[in-house]
Amino acid sequence: MDRIIDITELALRDAHQSLIATRLGVDDMVPVCEDLDQAGYWSIECWGGATYDACIRFLNEDPWVRLRTFKELMPKTPLQMLLRGQNLLGYRHYQDEVVDRFVQKSAENGIDVFRIFDALNDLRNLERSVQAVKRCGKHAQVAISYTISPIHTTEKFVDQARRLVDMGCDSICIKDMAALIKPHAAYELVKGIKEACGDRIRIQLHAHATSGVTMVSYMKAVEAGVDGVDTAVSSMSLGPGHNPTESFAEMLENTGYTTRIDLARVHKVKEHFAKVLPRYSEFLSTVTGAETEIFRSQIPGGMLSNMESQLKQQGAGDRMHEVLKEIPLVRKDTGYVPLVTPTSQIVGTQAVLNVLMGRYKVLTGEFADLMLGYYGLPPGERNPEVVEQARRHAKKEPIDCRPADLLEPEWGKLRAAALPLEGCDGSDEDVLTYALFPQVAAKFFATRHEGPRNLGRDPVTGASETSVPEGHPGKIT
């Protein structure tokens, strides 16, 4: 009997976050929910990551309503979200009570699988949310942020996995947001975790397709015993996105592995998004084809374009070459942090400053915080001289405690600030929206009654949607 490989479908979250800047409106997702729910996925990732922010910032859409809509339309398949540990979906650390409440409300509104990660792989930033998920009786999947560096050996990641299992996670995700994991490395890592943690621990591999190698890494991970992989329906795949669901299912033919995927259902989903995506062409990522420079530069695509525009603003567009050389040095000084949000921006901006002003002559507040432990403990040794410069610059002492331990209880304050806002409905969900994005929330509460705004446009005429598509839960403006 073929071994079953489970599939998590990314179309409703990471795929459109990667391909069209998270702009997909719920009315463009509703028509495929039934097919997705019946297609045999292990889980459907549909919430969290940048979607919460995008909902209230761009789409005038209540993310909690979106989640309840999904739950109603997809009652069968576990719904999954991506959660940034102690940061939740925002850009700072939250006090534990806020974490607890956010997780509880997410579970109540429909999330079954919580995928939790931390940019620094600092377990202390993950613990509280894992506990909260387990208290709700939901699935706590903890992700290891995958990266490559002189200190990031297979052994180190296996060790991390071992500690995640001890922490009580229900499954482990290897999260390769930059498409760095090569076939042999994937094989070794999956094999290593299975050997260290026992065959029973569930391993999921999440890789982007950007570098063009990760479909092969999926095959090798399967051979090494991976339990599931993340894919996106073909019409929402590749480029900075993910490997295609249908291709993954097809490629297993006669290999001794198979999936539970109903390709006829997936085909309908594919056809739908093939029609929808051109309506979002203004947001379409310009990264297409494969991009292998990251193996040399360590720099994810999005980070590169950020730095280019920073340099141009300073009239130093010709100094990119120096910045590219500076980044690995700065990253080394930080203790080889994985370059993902927010560390990619922090390291990139500091490298630009180093080139323009002299090395560490000027530090950003965020870089100082990173060096001083305010984001958590980096994977490797930090350069003590740079830590000292950060201390003097920021006039703060380095910390080695869990950053959130420094926070005072804040739920009451957040609630008090949110409730008087025009349009705030007084629910915990609204308080959480305010907690995550205070300014944006205030504007959103005031305009929420106008209903969701669909940003799709007719690809030929450029006209916005004017009529409400069938099954649409709100008004289009």
Q: Is 320 in the site for a second copy (CB under 8 A)?
A: no
CA dist 257 and 222 (Å) reads 8
CB of 293 to a second copy, least distance (A): 7
Tell whether residue 439 is a contact of a second copy (CB under 8 A).
no
Site mask for Co ion (CB under 5 A), range 130-169, x = bound: ----------------------------------------
C-alpha–C-alpha distance, residues 148 and 338, integer Å: 8
Stretch binding a second copy (CB under 8 A), from 167-175, 206-214, 322-330, 356-364 = 206-214
How far apart CA 207 and CA 179 sit, in angstroms, is 6
Closest C-alpha among 77, 76, 74, 98 to residue 87: 98
Nearer to a second copy among residue 15 and residue 88 (C-beta):
15
Residue 255 is classified by DSSP as: T
In the complex with Co ion, the residue whose CB is nearer, 104 or 247, is 247
Choose which of 72, 166, 195, 250 interacts with a second copy (CB under 8 A).
250
268 binds a second copy (CB under 8 A): no
Question: Nearest 5°: CA angle at 58, between 54 and 62?
Answer: 65
Residues that bind a second copy (rule: CB under 8 A) add up to a total of 36
* Contact residue for Co ion among 107, 161, 177, 209 (CB under 5 A): 177
Q: Which residues pair with 139 in a beta bridge?
A: 113
How far, in Å, CA of 454 to CA of 465, rounded? 7
Q: Is 62 in the site for Co ion (CB under 5 A)?
A: no
Roughly what angle, to the nearest 10 degrees, separates helices 127-135 and 96-109? 40
What three-state secondary structure class fits 465? coil
Please check whether residue 100 is in contact with residue 128, taking contact to mean a CB–CB distance below 8 angstroms: yes
Structure tokens at 151: 């200190």
CB of 340 to a second copy, least distance (A): 20
Is residue 14 close enough to count as binding Co ion by CB under 5 A?
yes
Distance CA 59, CA 51 (A): 10
The nearer residue to Co ion, 177 or 201, going by C-beta atoms, is 177
Omega within 30 of 0 (cis) for the link into 342:
yes
6-14, 326-334, 432-440, 463-471 -> range binding Co ion (CB under 5 A): 6-14
The residue nearest Co ion at its CB is 14
Contact flag: residue 133 with a second copy (CB under 8 A): no
Question: Residue 88 interacts with a second copy (CB under 8 A)?
Answer: no
DSSP 30: G
Stretch of 12-20, 62-70, 145-153, 182-190 contacting Co ion, by CB under 5 A: 12-20
Does position 28 interact with Co ion (CB under 5 A)? The reply is no
Q: Is 234 in the site for a second copy (CB under 8 A)?
A: yes
From candidates 238, 303, 304, 340, binder to a second copy by CB under 8 A: 238
Strand, helix or coil at 92? Answer: coil
User: Minimum distance from CB of 40 to Co ion (Å)?
Assistant: 22
The amino acid sitting at 165 is: V
DSSP per-residue codes, 94-129: --HHHHHHHHHHHHHHT--EEEE--TT--GGGTHHH
The total number of residues written for the chain in this structure = 477
**Is the Cβ of residue 10 or residue 126 nearer to a second copy in the bound state?**
10
18 scored as a contact of a second copy (CB under 8 A): no
3-state secondary structure of 199: coil
Write the CB contacts of 121 (distance below 8 Å, at least 6 apart in sequence).
144, 145, 160, 338, 379
| Residue 213 C-beta: closest distance to a second copy, Å | 4
Site track 383-422 with a second copy (rule: CB under 8 A), x = hit:
----------------------------------------
277-316 positions binding a second copy, by CB under 8 A: 288-293, 295
Burial class (CB in 10 A: 0-12, 13-18, 19+), 200: exposed
What residues line the site for Co ion (CB under 5 A)?
Answer: 14, 177
Contacting residues toward a second copy, per CB under 8 A: 182-185, 211-213, 215-220, 234-238, 243-244, 246-247, 250-251, 253-255, 263, 267, 288-293, 295
